Amino acid sequence: MHIPEGVTAVIGLGVSGRAICRHLTRLGRSFAMLDTRAAPPRLEAFKAEYPDVAIYCGPLDAVDFSRAFEVVISPGVDPLTPGLEGLLDEHNPATNEPRLVGEIALFKRAVKAPVAAITGANAKSTVTTLLGEMAHASNVAAAVGGNLGTAALDLLEAHPDAELYILELSSFQLETTPRLGAAAVAFLNLSEDHLDRHATLERYRQAKARIFIHAGLAVVNADDPLTWPDDTAVPVVRFTGHAPGQEEWGLVTFVGQQWLARGADRVMRVDALGMAGRHNYMNALAALALGEALGFSRAAMRTVLETFKGLPHRSEVVDTLNGVRFVNDSKGTNVGATLAAIEGIGATLEGRLVLLAGGVGKGADFTLLAAPLARYARQVLVFGADAQRLKAALTPTVAVREVETLEQALEAALEVARPGDCVLLSPACASLDQFANYEARGEAFRQWVLRQRSEVNA
């Protein structure tokens, strides 16, 4: 296939790809749709909506992009896919950007209001949602989306009068964004994830660190130097899980109570938070730092933190059965997320953790889980495609039992758990070996627990 001169090639018939097409249609730009899959979902619906748009499905190395005005890829498409070689390095004089970009580059060109952006290996959805709630409580007309919820380009159409756009951004979105130029950004944490795409932790970090390009202010994790910008000219505010410096956000102890604080200024007690666990204290501190940078009301931010209970599938307490708490952290799809859940919840228990883990490990190093599990776990139940890798990494540090499915893991957990324990689903893996997505996995966990509750009450 040859892309005609002046036509934009859009690659990826998913949520972002369709949002890109709608945006280009609003701009009156000609485009062609491509997808590497032979029969992508919603193909017929796309043909019906865009009958005059050329469509190609198949390997991209069979496509001639040499005359295309621009190539815009969805986040799920690797910019190094065969057929796209060199396009990131080619300059487009019409846009003063590379010839290959992603949806966020188009968003940046079109947006008229300030942008706040959040990235990190974990917790970015929680902090993004928190910041959106804080904006609304402060009477700021904010639109929230990106990697979370509504695609960034669709936000422009749905909320044209927004005073602020708050975006969760993944490494896949950032690696094809030449310059974001956000008013305030946050890089929350870094741990191994998506190594099947980025190959190394450093390349993953470099993709995420693009969030700092032309940023007005950066909120970073003082305890994780890998989240700091390489450009020392970027203004930085740090948050920490320890006592903060004068200009930092952190945790202080006063009269036996732990507080969220800005330097020596105590803001609120941690036991007033609607979210539990030390990892959520860090999320609250990051959101407060961003909110202050954006001029939000501190009283309004405190009210949000008191009432916000967290997002589904993220350290979500489903129920307590016979004194055993069941927590759904299905969004824990990498080792860093699971480490945060283990440390955050384990330290608060009277009993021990029974961890349910497994799925597609994406090449992660599971041995990092061994030490915290030795401190907090009664048993680990592993299932799914990488169950044997998990078992090998954790044995003999902690008791590990291998089963085939999540349901079998839950049945085994019910047998071994004791009052005061917590059964924690935090898989450290993607879900696609046994479930459509992490939401479906979390919902299976939730429904199983609720069935046990109904049997107890019958």
pLDDT of residue 458: 55
Nearest to 341 by CA among 365, 380, 373, 309: 373
- The pLDDT tens digits of the residues spanning 360-404 come to 998 889 999 999 999 999 999 999 999 999 999 999 999 999 999
Which two three-digit tokens encode residue 201? 């932790």
- The pLDDT tens digits of the residues spanning 34-64 come to 999 999 999 999 999 999 999 999 999 999 9
pLDDT at 289 over 70: yes
- The pLDDT tens digits of the residues spanning 66-104 come to 999 999 999 999 999 999 999 999 999 999 999 999 999
CATH topology (fold) of 316-457: Protein-Tyrosine Phosphatase; Chain A (3.90.190)
Catalytic residue among 23, 159, 194, 331: 194
pLDDT of residue 192: 74
DSSP state string for 26-81 = HHT--EEEEESSSS-TTHHHHHHH-TTS-EEES-GGG-B-TT-SEEEE-TTS-TTS
pLDDT at 196 over 90: no
Catalytic residue among 23, 108, 147, 331: 147
pLDDT at 194 over 80: no
124 is catalytic: yes
Cα separation, 127 vs 9, whole angstroms: 34
Catalytic residue among 23, 108, 124, 279: 124
pLDDT of residue 217: 98
Q: Would you tell me how many other CB atoms lie within 10 Å of the CB of residue 226?
A: 17
DSSP state string for 318-340 = EEEETTEEEEE-TT--SHHHHHH
CATH topology (fold) of 8-98: Rossmann fold (3.40.50)
391 is catalytic: no
pLDDT at 264 over 70: yes
Q: Percent of the chain having pLDDT more than 70?
A: 99
Q: Where are the domains of the chain?
A: 8-98, 111-307, 316-457
- The pLDDT tens digits of the residues spanning 152-192 come to 999 999 999 999 999 999 999 999 999 999 999 999 999 87
- The pLDDT tens digits of the residues spanning 305-334 come to 999 988 889 888 889 999 999 999 999 999
Q: Are 394 and 372 in contact (CB under 8 A)?
A: no
pLDDT at 453 over 90: no
pLDDT band at 456 (very low <50, low <70, confident <90, very high): low
pLDDT of residue 274: 87
pLDDT at 297 over 70: yes
194 is catalytic: yes
- The pLDDT tens digits of the residues spanning 429-452 come to 999 999 999 999 999 999 999 999
pLDDT of residue 424: 97
Question: What class has domain 111-307?
Answer: alpha beta
Q: Are 2 and 21 in contact (CB under 8 A)?
A: no
- The pLDDT tens digits of the residues spanning 205-257 come to 999 999 999 999 999 999 999 999 999 999 999 999 999 999 999 999 999 99
pLDDT of residue 106: 98
